Amino acid sequence: MTSSQVINPATEELLTTVDLLDVAAVDDAVARAAAAQRKWCRLAPAERAAGLRAFAGVVDAHIDELAALEVANSGHPIAQAEWEAGHVRDVLQFYSATPERLSGKQIPVAGGLDVTFNEPLGVVGVITPWNFPMTIAAWGFAPALAAGNAVVLKPAEWTPLTTIRLGELAIASGLPEGLFQVLPGKGSVVGERFVTHPGVRKVVFTGSTEVGMRVMAGAAAQVKRVTLELGGKSANIVFDDCDLEKAAATAPYGVFDNAGQDCCARSRILVQRNVYDRFMELLEPAVKGVVVGDPTLRDTEMGPLVSRPHWESVVSYVPDGAPVAFRASAPEGPGFWFPPTVLTPQRTDRTVTEEIFGPVVTVLPFEDEADAIALANDTPYGLSGSIWTDNLSRAMRVSRAVESGNLSVNSHSSVRYNTPFGGFKQSGLGRELGPDAPLSFTETKNVFFAVEEL
């Protein structure tokens, strides 16, 4: 068995080593999951609901521990990490209502009774990225379990610790052994095995578009179900009729949260040309005011990047001579630090077209509404975005025209556990969260009961 080192990205200290599973271990885990699932799906709905509520309760009792672990493993600021652990609890609470509400339909037909059942798929494989380890895991495992499935989950190699702990807490809460298993390992081994194993009936993948395409192609061989949550290059569109002060004050947090390692990052700010100069004057102090530093401190707003390889990738987007308008400061010394950075490149520059996944934002001027929409849509991605305007009709027109799964008007909110989340175009396939997510972990079965006439 191989192992990998888990590094604290704020200090570069070794936290621990984690054993990486091989294919045989995955196959054993899938067999255990299948056995657990057969029993789980036969439990009374109220019993499954109670099991998920108990899991939520145990997560709630461990929020401080989970948050501290995420600070150490991922460099997330403590306040953000606490929110993330609380979000896991909330997602479990929300979907604990599912088992007792997952009703089918009774459809009027001639000659009998026709009903539909939402049958669980069986074993679901969830593959998560390193940027939001706990929350993205919960978006997969909570609705999948609620719909009567078992879950095997592979966390990202750099950030496995909170997910491993969630797997332990599931057992501690009384969920059956084997029902929810966390399987650390390489994407090319454990992740690929989820795709090729015939007993894994669906793969929920969150990560890069490149690997997502590979997962989808592999799943095709077995017509395996997939949900894909992939990359983004979202636009923050600022019209001249908006509250410009508020738009500028909030723009840094729409892109630099989690050090820009956020698939929803509004990493392209598009500003109407007649207010561009004023917007930049307002943006500069807002960017320089972002508090970057020790993630264990409560007033820290942005921590380090997750790893050295990722830091090197982000650095490559801002070489000497890059069109830097201004940037904030970041700590020096150990840790993968990169300051919030504002660029003013040409529209065709790779900083405008590629997902950087770091604290780097481009600002481009646009002429009018049509130009703003064309620019916003000029990307293979379509995950998120914001529209700043005080004109209601314009807000309606632009939010319908932007090809993106999650938009917010006069704010940067995008993820709530009770509303659907997912991408257009190459940002993904399917939706997570919201009231309908459990249905994507079921097959609809239609049964007709013939009724003899007297």
Cα 190 to the chain's mean position, in Å?
Answer: 20
Query: Does the annotation mark 229 as catalytic?
Result: yes
CA-CA distance, 440 to 227, in Å (whole number)? 8
DSSP 183-198: ----IIIIIHHHHH-T
Residue 365 C-beta: closest distance to ligand NAD, Å: 26
Residues near ligand NAD (CB under 6 A): 127-132, 136, 154, 156-157, 187-188, 191-192, 195, 206-208, 211, 214-215, 229-232, 263, 355, 357, 383, 423, 427-428
Where do the H-state alpha helices sit in 127-264?
Answer: 133-146, 161-172, 192-196, 209-220, 244-255
Cα dihedral value 275, 278, 279, 280, nearest 10:
130
Q: Which residue in 229, 301, 355, 432 is the catalytic one?
A: 229
Residue 247 C-beta: closest distance to ligand NAD, Å: 24
Q: Which is nearer to ligand NAD, 56 or 183 (CB)?
A: 183
Q: Which is nearer to ligand NAD, 62 or 154 (CB)?
A: 154
Q: Which is nearer to ligand NAD, 227 or 389 (CB)?
A: 227
Q: Which is nearer to ligand NAD, 40 or 421 (CB)?
A: 421
106: tokens are 């009774």
Residue 340 C-beta: closest distance to ligand NAD, Å: 18
| Burial annotation 210-248 (CB, 10 A radius, 16+ → b, else e) | ebbebbbebbeeeebbbbbbbbbbbbbbbbbebebeebb
**How many residues can be counted in the chain?**
454
DSSP H or E segment with residue 16: strand 14-20
C-alpha pair distances (Å), 211 with each of 85, 265, 327, 360:
27, 20, 32, 23
Q: Which is nearer to ligand NAD, 155 or 293 (CB)?
A: 155
Contact 207, 130 (CB under 8 A): no
Q: Which is nearer to ligand NAD, 130 or 336 (CB)?
A: 130
C-alpha pair distances (Å), 301 with each of 70, 85, 187, 288, 294:
15, 17, 31, 12, 9
User: SS3 sequence, 381-410?
Assistant: CCCCEEEECCCHHHHHHHHHHCCCCCCEEC
Residue 131 C-beta: closest distance to ligand NAD, Å: 5
At residue 114's C-alpha, the angle toward residues 110 and 115, to 5°, is 165
Contact 340, 302 (CB under 8 A): yes
Contact 238, 260 (CB under 8 A): no
Q: Which is nearer to ligand NAD, 120 or 140 (CB)?
A: 140
Residue 278 C-beta: closest distance to ligand NAD, Å: 31
Residue 251 C-beta: closest distance to ligand NAD, Å: 19
- The catalytic site residues sit at 229
